[in-house]
Chain A
Amino acid sequence: MSYKTLYRTYRPQNFYDVVGQEHITRTFKNALLKNKVSHAYLFTGPRGTGKTSIAKIIAKAVNCEKAPTSEPCNVCKSCISINSGFDNDVFEIDAASNNGVDEIREIRDKVKYAPSMGRFKVYIIDEVHMLSTGAFNALLKTLEEPPKHVIFILATTEPHKIPATIISRCQRFDFKSISIKDIIYRIKHVVKEENIKIEDRAIITIAKNAQGGMRDALSLLDQAISFSDDVVTEENVHEITGTVSEEKLYTIVESVVSNNTHQVIEYIDVLISSGKEPLRLLENLIYYYRDLFLIKKMNIIDEQLVMYHSEDTKTLAKDLNEKNISQIISILNNAQYEMRKTNYPRVFIELAIFEIVSLNKNKIEIEKAQILQIKKNIDFEEVKVDIKQENVVNEKPVEVKTNHDNVEAKYIDINDIEEVLNNGNKEKKLNLMLQWNSIYGSDISFTNIKQILIDGTIEAVSKSNKIILSYEVESICARLYESDIFTKATEILEEVFHEKFTIIALPKRIWNEKKEEFTEQYRNKVKQPKLTPITEPILVKKNNNKYEFEPELVKEAISLFGEDIVKITN
């Protein structure tokens, strides 16, 4: 007799042996004991969770000599004959190979005959999702009202492929993936029975790698036993699965965090030359980062969800920032995708590492820039205070000189925006919006300025006739502030609407920020919301009055070649 793999030898023979499916075994034990077994069941769930096993146990239990009983005895004639797989009343049908109407008809024709030995004929139809549509429909009637002595058990991994009419005729049981704890428990049992020496950590690693399938776990154990010399070690398991242990992953990520590129590359080199596959390594890294993310995000760590959760990992997670991790994962993901297509998986791993490290560096630079920006703001506020004291500017946008000769920075006064937002007038806004296009009018002069006005979106209008316009394109917004254009634009508005308006133009981006800030405060019931000042200046070109006097031709030329090239001569 040849060797039988562990997962076949240790197929559960009674409900007690089934792990991880208490909700199902309990239902069946009670149903069997009370003689309330239904005529059709549908078992669904991922691979290796016990669908076929439980089906067989039920077949034994209903036919057992001791029935009604909650567990098959496994010693009576009937049980033994079913265990051997040659019983006349239990039919295990492989629906994938027998998926035609003809095969189902054959079942239908034979169900009516009474069982030869036991009380019930049990049809276990495995991989039932592979039946053809015709076959499913041929089964419907039989499944709904079979003779008293028949039980159908359908098992599948892909319930979405089963027609609704079949599902509604069966009692459906969803099998859960088996938890790591349960797998460990079962492996320990097997190891004890088989007299195998194995490290506890090895068992845990096997359980994690099985991803919820008991069969996968036992297969792995089988392989590990064959691979190991005497005692099955954790390293043995890692070698079979090609995975990388948590400590090693920690070392890599730790060096990445501390920007030690050199060390990371060397370390990866060592791993690859010791036989780890680059693709697997990358996959493990992605999972490691994913777990770091989860640990960071959730305070309570559910060992079911997280594969890596040693103390080192947890401390590492605290140091990282969430946004950064998700960026890193997407970099690794891209690398993984690219890797499948080429012959140089290593190049991609290395590239990914460099990218991640440079991400860290960029982050530092961005932080520096932010600090500088804040510093600048502080300076600016001081300047503003000075100006106010001297009463030079009142309520008007404050102008601060920049380094550029031709450009001046325009800072928009947040008080203006606050005022508009707090004293908004919906009617006026609606009116303006409806008539906005009439700015064009019949007069063809200053079309460029009119165009700038029309390009803006009216965001808000105050009672005191202040308009907030937002611009997708910041350069257009800046042009509106050029002094000549600004005055002309105000004039045009007065001409068209017969009222005086003050224009406040903003880039869309800034407007959105401010709007959000405002609504946030408004929602929190702040009566007169105060907004933070706008720190970003709008860069406006100085002394540019040529637009006003351009004839159409020149304008056309500028739009074609750009203003740098076009020169106007007499």
Chain B
Amino acid sequence: MSLDNLVKLQPKVLKILINSYKKDRLAHAYLFEGEKGTNKKEVAIEFAKVLYCEGTDKPCDNCINCLRIEHNNHPNVLIIEPENNSIKKEQVIYLQKEYSKTTLEPGPKIYIIEEIDKMSNNASNSILKFIEEPQPNTYTILTTDNLHQILPTIISRCQVLNFQPLLKSQIVDFLLENNIELDIAKIVSQLTNDLSRALEIANGEEIVNVVKLVIDIMRAILSKNENPLIIIEDSQVDIVNNKKLLELFLDVSLIYQRDVEHVKNKIEEIVFINESSFIKKYIDNIDMDKIISNIDHIIKAKINLDYNAYSISLIDTLFINLI
């Protein structure tokens, strides 16, 4: 991803980094913290490129250094990732050894340690000293999506940069650019914060069918015309036997119920844009407590699904509670 794109996605972080670079105030250790899909690693790589790029418009993505970093071939840029879901002390010792050597090529040394929360306790304590007072001209970048599991002593030694999850509107724009219809794009944007994952869902076959099913069922519940269980029986979407579909179904239902909640509270912004008039028509039939309990039931169903609950009984219980 190019720097310009990243600036759009993470304006705050990039502003700090770029300003620090311009003012020559780069810290020796950064901790990139934020949810999955917030481009932490990409920013780290761009950071390295900027420091090494030989071109005028940094990073140029053309010079030898940029290319080598892009392909993870640069001798002075070291990336450490968890092995078997944890970073072990041996990896840290290797890192420290690398640290103590002088560089092969002129320029700073950059260490990127990914998912620092997966580091063993031993290993985390070992890096403390060397993050605090490294050799001159070395930079360490740690990334994590779980700040709460990191030793406070590590956090206090780094500048913590908080990566914001993408705004929903950014995801919607991205999906629209990729020829996804607006209504689906809005729904998908609520389901994930990861752009590539969002596109995957939006392009999948299931989403359209599931959304239609949810609309049918929620309309039935609101207007009390039909039995939702019969709609499920008749539907072609097999949420009973396909756990993934059921999960998607619950997620989308939750979004719908939240829309109902919003309409009830006269909040304009809703996700199911085409449903607004229908919900408004029936909104007086349902009171706030019922809406809250509906949302609760859907969330409970989701949790039970994680515990591998039997899907037929799960669906039955859910709808008996919702009706």
A interface residues, Cβ below 8 angstroms from B: 1-5, 8, 46-48, 85, 94, 96-97, 99, 126-127, 130, 157, 213, 215-216, 219, 222-223, 225-227, 239-242, 261-262, 265-266, 269, 273, 275, 277, 338, 341-344, 347, 350-351, 354-355, 358
Contact = CB atoms under 8 A, between A and B. Distances in A.
Nearest to A264: B265
A48 B126 CA distance: 18
Nearest to B269: A269
B191 interface: yes
B16 A3 contact: no
Contacts of B191: 343
Given A47-B152, A127-B125, A97 B254 contact: no
Residue among B265, B269, B292 having the largest count of chain A Cβ atoms under 10 Å: B265
Contact of B125 (A1, A130, A216, A355): A130
Interface in B16-31: 16-17, 19-20, 23-28
A126 B129 contact: yes
Interface string B1-43: 0000000000010011101100111111000000000000000
A262 B137 contact: no
Contacts of B25: 3, 222, 225-226
Contacts of B17: 226
Contacts of A347: 254, 258, 295, 299
Contact of B265 (A222, A239, A265): A265
Contacts of B156: 47-48, 213, 215-216, 219
Contacts of A225: 23, 25
A296 to B, nearest CB: 28
Main SS of chain A's interface residues?
helix
Interface string B61-78: 000000000000000000
A97 B295 contact: no
B153 A265 contact: no
B162 to A, nearest CB: 5
B231 interface: no
Given A96-B129, A226-B16, A347-B299, 15 more contacts: A2-B28, A2-B108, A3-B24, A47-B153, A97-B92, A127-B129, A216-B156, A219-B156, A223-B160, A225-B23, A226-B17, A240-B162, A262-B267, A277-B164, A344-B258
21 contacts: A5-B27, A8-B133, A47-B156, A97-B93, A97-B130, A219-B159, A223-B16, A226-B25, A227-B12, A239-B12, A269-B267, A273-B167, A275-B164, A277-B162, A277-B164, A343-B251, A347-B258, A347-B299, A350-B261, A351-B292, A351-B296
A563 to B, nearest CB: 29
Contact of A351 (B23, B262, B295): B295
Given A262-B265, A275-B12, A222 B128 contact: no
Given A225-B25, A240-B16, A96 B295 contact: no
A213 B25 CA distance: 21
Query: Top 9 nearest A-B pairs by Cβ distance?
Result: A96-B125, A94-B129, A226-B20, A97-B126, A47-B156, A130-B125, A96-B126, A5-B27, A226-B19
A276 to B, nearest CB: 8
B241 interface: no
Nearest to A130: B125
B49 interface: no
B122 A96 contact: yes
Contact of A127 (B128, B159, B288): B128
B82 interface: no
B96 A97 contact: yes
A277 B167 CA distance: 10
A223 B16 CA distance: 7
B311 interface: no
Interface of B: 12, 15-17, 19-20, 23-28, 92-93, 96, 108, 122, 125-126, 128-130, 132-133, 136-137, 152-153, 155-162, 164-165, 167, 169, 190-193, 251, 254, 258, 261-262, 265-267, 269, 288-289, 292, 295-296, 299, 302-303
Given A225-B25, A343-B191, A242 B128 contact: no
A266 B267 contact: yes
A178 to B, nearest CB: 12
A344 B153 CA distance: 31
B292 A355 contact: yes
A106 to B, nearest CB: 17
A342 B251 CA distance: 10
A227 B15 CA distance: 6
A227 to B, nearest CB: 5
Contacts of B157: 215, 219
A147 to B, nearest CB: 26
B137 A2 contact: yes
A227 B20 CA distance: 8
A344 B190 contact: yes
A440 to B, nearest CB: 45
Contacts of B130: 94, 97
Contacts of A47: 152-153, 156
A80 B158 CA distance: 27
Contacts of B23: 225-226
Contacts of A96: 122, 125-126, 128-129
A8 B131 CA distance: 12
B28 A5 contact: yes
A343 B191 CA distance: 7
A265 B288 CA distance: 14
A353 to B, nearest CB: 10
Contacts of B167: 273, 275
Contacts of A219: 27, 156-160
A350 B258 contact: yes
B299 to A, nearest CB: 7
Contact of A2 (B26, B289, B295): B26
Contacts of B251: 343
A79 B70 CA distance: 45
A11 B29 CA distance: 17
A49 B96 CA distance: 26
A1 B267 CA distance: 56
A239 B190 CA distance: 24
Which of A99, A226, A343, A354 counts the most chain B CB atoms within 10 A? A226
Contacts of B261: 350, 354
B122 A261 contact: no
Contacts of A355: 292
Contacts of A97: 92-93, 96, 126, 129-130
A227 B27 contact: no
Given A94-B128, A219-B159, A242-B162, A2 B133 contact: no
Interface centre among B156, B167, B299 (most CB of A within 10 A): B156
Contact of A85 (B133, B137, B193): B133
Which of A1, A97, A127, A343 has most chain B Cβ within 10 Å?
Answer: A97
